[in-house]
Amino acid sequence: MIDPIIQFFERLITQFSWRRLLFVLIVIFICVGVLAGYETYTSHFRFNKIEHEIKFLTQLTELSKKIKEQNDERLTNIFKAILQDLEMHINYGYQAFNLHPVLLKSMAAAFPWALMLLLFLLTGKTPKETFVGTTFIAIPFIIIGAYLPTFSNSWLNYILYPVGHFTLIVMAVMILQKRKKKP
């Protein structure tokens, strides 16, 4: 079932054509557009988040009464910590996996490069020099991505920069290789 998909991406790399790349980009664009349109129209994900927040707040309110009755300082401190965590999550946004933003941004910047190396592995015909070269090209851009300022619109750090810099570098390398092949 997955084999045709793997073969398609393998051919995208081994038998590169702008047509295949354009097809993949159009499919990705359509999928993202449909998901964004669905969320804009229904607010499904937003309302699910609000529903979970209300559920947690209701449970915490009921729990608050029980903790006050017991008059246990340890339980009161734990309850306060839970309330602070929930407040931070709701009011100030919560970092995914509770990781430092520098680490999250570097992981986002490294993702396209890791995906490319994985595709190289799947082809099985890629020399080791390609892996080393790709890694050396990727490292400076991953470091730059990690230390970019954290924008209020997080998609700039976690989507635009990783996809943008990767696309520009791959296009530049392809143009250089095309010029080298011409006599």
Q: Does residue 34 form part of some domain?
A: no
pLDDT band at 141 (very low <50, low <70, confident <90, very high): very high
Q: Does residue 30 form part of some domain?
A: no
pLDDT confidence of residue 172? 87
Q: Does residue 116 form part of some domain?
A: yes
On the question of pLDDT at 1 being above 70, the answer is no
Task: Output the pTM of the full model.
Answer: 0.51
Q: Does residue 139 form part of some domain?
A: yes
Q: Does residue 66 form part of some domain?
A: no
Pick from 9-13, 41-45, 89-93, 108-112: least confident: 89-93
Q: Does residue 87 form part of some domain?
A: no
The whole domain housing 170 covers 96-183
The fraction of the chain above a pLDDT of 70, given in percent, is: 93
Neighbours of 123 (CB within 10 A): 14
Mean pLDDT for the chain overall: 82
Q: Does residue 58 form part of some domain?
A: no
Structural contact between residues 103 and 156, judged by C-beta atoms closer than 8 angstroms: no
Task: Report the alpha-carbon distance of residue 110 to residue 116 in Å, rounded.
Answer: 10
Q: Does residue 169 form part of some domain?
A: yes
The number of folded domains in the chain is 1
